[in-house]
Amino acid sequence: MKKRLMTMLLTCTTLMTLTGMSLAGCGTAASGESTGASSDTTADAPAASQSTSGSTESAADSSTTADSAAASASVQTVQAGKLRVAMECAYAPYNWTQPDDSNGAVQIAESKDYANGYDVMMAQKIADSLGLKLEVVKLDWDSLIPAVQSGTVDCVIAGQSITAERMQSVDFSDPYFYASIVTLTKSDSKYASAKSIADLSGAKATSQINTIWYDTCIPQIPDVDKQSAQKTAPQMLVALDSGATDIVVTDMPTAKAALVAYPDLKLLDFSGSDGDYKVSDEDVNIGCSMKKGNTALKTAINAVVDKMTADDFNKLMDQAISVQPLSTSN
């Protein structure tokens, strides 16, 4: 009896399966001329998919908003709802001043002008991750660290090297850029063919004040005629262009940006040779500085920069160089 029941069940199952296959086969054969029922089913599928996709995106947006809100709540800023970031706004391609908001520029606090550049782009990423509005504060180079210490701004994002000396005054994030040291000279200069710092012997040299370029690198040049330090990066480039100095020591991004403004300059890169400038990692690692003990902000900034690779940094820097005002003046 059990065998007969099993046989009947198997037979029924087989018939149902074959019937289903036959119906499916009909649907496939008529794919060029879909039936109304088939068309309705097909039309409903994308709608259901879109609904599911919309729900997923909505959930993801809600999650991102919640994460930003949570991060913002843990970070105490100088002004509620804002991330106040100090920079020179005169140090292309890291940061510069422009008259409008083109290319994502951010209005400078208490000014009609706008700030843009690599530092602004990075600051915007950090502010967005915290759900805060970015406010750029324009200050002289020597006023940056005091502004952090006094609580006038939340942090400095201004192409600062992470040096042991600075770390005595402020805390730093992990690096958000790695900047190699190079030399600029005029194309017709007697130093234009230099292959090492030894070939720069006797040159008149300058750079920006209170930088490793001026304090650490220039003294390594044999018999160098060290000129007075320049207050800003643009001023050191003017000194070179005018002939007041033979060479300028700076970093790669600043040099690349300078070549756009001054096509008759030549970039000398001794990287990888024995004749290169001797610098430590701290000299070429660029970081964001904040008040000592501000662990919450440091952690929040690191959460952004640590997700980026050196290639990501370089691509963002190339983007900044491509939109700096001087690069579009021709």
- Return mean pLDDT, the chain: 83
Is 140 within a domain? Answer: yes
Domain for residue 73, yes or no?
no
In whole angstroms, what is the distance from residue 289 CA to residue 294 CA? Answer: 10
Q: Confirm whether 17 is domain-assigned.
A: no
Please identify, among 220, 235, 270, the residue that sits at the C-terminal boundary of a domain.
270
Least confident of 34-38, 42-46, 95-99, 135-139: 34-38
- Asked if residue 9 has pLDDT above 90, the reply is no
* pLDDT value at residue 67: 52
- 174 and 227 in a common domain: no
Pick 254 or 328 by higher pLDDT: 254
Its pTM stands at 0.71
Average pLDDT over residues 15-41: 37
Number of domains composing the chain: 2
Q: Across 6-20, 36-50, 72-86, 300-314, which has the greatest mean pLDDT?
A: 300-314
pLDDT single digits (tens) 124-151: 999 999 999 999 999 999 999 999 999 9
* Range of the structural domain that residue 218 is part of: 181-270
Whether residue 196 sits in one domain with residue 153? no
Whether 61 maps to a domain, the answer reads no
pLDDT, tens digit, 9 for 90 and up, residues 218-234: 999 999 999 999 999 99
- Asked if residue 7 is part of any domain, the answer here is no
The alpha helices in the chain, defined as continuous H runs, are 2-29, 36-74, 118-130, 144-150, 164-167, 212, 233-242, 252-261, 281-284, 295-305, 310-323
- Is residue 174 located within the same domain as residue 93? yes
C-alpha 175/C-alpha 145 separation (Å) is 17
* Cβ burial 307-320 (10 Å sphere, 16+ → b, else e): ebeeeebeebbeeb
State whether 87 and 173 are in the same domain.
yes
Together in a domain, 167 and 293: yes
Same domain, 173 and 212: no
In a domain, 277, yes or no: no
> Domain containing 322 — which CATH number?
3.40.190.10
Mean pLDDT, residues 306-316: 96
